[in-house]
Amino acid sequence: MDLKKNNVAIIAPAIAREGITMQVTTQLNALQLNHIHVFLIILGPVDEKVIEELEIQIPNERKLLLNLSTSYLSARAFFNSYSIVSPILRFIRKNNIEAVVAHAPYAHFIMRLVKLVSLLSGVKFKLLQYFHGIQYVEHPVNSVARFGMNSLNQVLALWLDDAHISVSYAVKHDIESNLIRLRRHEVIYNSVYGSSKLSSENQVVWERISALLQSKPNSYRIVLPNRLHHNKGQRFFIEVLALFIQENKVLPAELAVYMVGEGPGRAEIEAAIANHILLQPFVTLTGALPNPVLRRMIEVADLVVVPSFFEGFSFSALEALQAGAVLLTSDTGGLKEVVQNKVTGFTFKNKSRKDCLKVLSFIYSNKKAVLIDRNKIMKDLKNRFSAETHVRQLLDLINS
């Protein structure tokens, strides 16, 4: 591939167990394999365990860690943003960075300020803004503060953004309807990354999880692999699960449900399980797990469920496809672009308990049948969701 720009920086809000970090990791590794000098700028907290799990390898001299207390665009972050513009601009100038790929709203705003100052100081670089979520659907512009912030971003984006990238057409529609319609706005699907190869530390975690799985050896295993948050739909699925168990007269030895992750929704989920006493023998909250361990769980799952209310894409769904698991998701946002209903997985109407129960009962009743087209899944993984396809599209946009 003929590469024009050899120095590229990726800026992310944080390094944590989340989809953005996984995509940043894929881009770092893929760009370096294509002989690009990649630089990494992290605004907020850095989880060293995640760096080890995902095998993020980049020389220290190519990193700028700003260690901000927050990685989200807020009123406080807005007023403190001036303090990090100069360090980022110095880093760009020192390393002759020609293009910057910025992930998530806070990084978008910061890089617009950096580019504004850079134009005044004669430093030029291309700015590509990467959008991951249906942010305006999830957080509508419904207050004076949000309206003012969005208006400022609209003006800055029009002046300073060179290209927009969305992880799905649902995200692209959300941005074009509420921010601006930029002439160059491409959809580049997230790509499959990682393996279930275990480090010695992760092996210990897997042994604990494996023992948990073997405690109900003949059960039908359902895994929900997402951060515990109201918008991820775990509480919703608990309500559906209670109805499912009652209607199908399922015994505890026949079914095991594992909710993997941590987050602000944990207390709400625990309370919901406590309110449905019959669920307690069925549902286990494992807490957060290293990604290789989670991938092992997905590989041995009979069903993976992603019941999100809002979702721009979903790495969890993509990992389930890669593992060959039967997948059940809501039809919100980009999920219906990842899953082809009744071909590569199953979808239900977003927030509809009745429809989710109907589809879940169908899958369980036909658990011994072949329910998905594995050949179609493999074609999708190769043609739409591979790292090779992803980096080729990204480089084409960087160099255009």
DSSP structure string for 4-20: S--EEEEEES-BSSSHH
Taking the CB of residue 275, how many other CB atoms lie within 10 A of it?
Answer: 11
Taking the CB of residue 33, how many other CB atoms lie within 10 A of it?
Answer: 11
Q: What pLDDT, in 10s, does the model give residues 108-160?
A: 999 999 999 998 888 899 999 999 999 999 889 999 988 988 999 999 999 99
N- to C-terminal Cα distance for the chain?
13
**Ranked by mean pLDDT, which of 7-11, 14-18, 66-70, 291-295 comes out on top?**
7-11
What is the rounded (10 degree) CA torsion for 223, 228, 230, 233?
-10
DSSP state of 367: T
Alpha helices per DSSP H over 232-350: 234-248, 266-275, 291-300, 315-323, 335-338
pLDDT > 80? residue 2: no
Q: Quick one: pLDDT at residue 113?
A: 93
Whether CATH 1.10.1040.10 fits 200-383: no
Q: Quick one: pLDDT at residue 173?
A: 97
Who's near 396: CB < 8 A, 6+ residues apart?
A: none
* Residue from 82, 48, 46, 49 nearest 65 by CA: 46
| Pair of tokens at residue 104 | 């998530």
Give the lowest-confidence range in 59-73, 227-241, 312-326. Answer: 59-73
Measured CA distances, 215 to 126, 283, 368 (Å)? 54, 13, 22
pLDDT > 80? residue 370: yes
| pLDDT, mean of residues 98-107 | 94
CA 253 to chain centre: 33
pLDDT band at 65 (very low <50, low <70, confident <90, very high): very high
| Distance separating alpha carbons of residues 318 and 377, to the nearest angstrom | 10
pLDDT band at 196 (very low <50, low <70, confident <90, very high): low
SS3 state at 300: helix
pLDDT > 90? residue 53: no
| Distance separating alpha carbons of residues 96 and 113, to the nearest angstrom | 18
| Distance separating alpha carbons of residues 128 and 213, to the nearest angstrom | 44
pLDDT > 60? residue 350: yes
- Are 31 and 399 contacting, i.e. CB atoms less than 8 angstroms apart? no
pLDDT > 90? residue 219: yes
The CATH fold assigned to 7-191+386-399 is Rossmann fold (3.40.50)
pLDDT over 70, % of the chain: 95
Q: Quick one: pLDDT at residue 74?
A: 61
Element (H, E) at 174: helix 169-178
Per-domain residue ranges for the chain? 7-191+386-399, 200-383
| Pair of tokens at residue 280 | 């307690």
| Distance separating alpha carbons of residues 295 and 70, to the nearest angstrom | 29
* Sign of torsion over alpha carbons 308, 376, 255, 218: negative
Average pLDDT, the chain: 90
pLDDT > 60? residue 3: no
Q: Quick one: pLDDT at residue 6?
A: 81
Q: Are the folds of 7-191+386-399 and 200-383 the same?
A: yes
Who's near 61: CB < 8 A, 6+ residues apart?
A: none
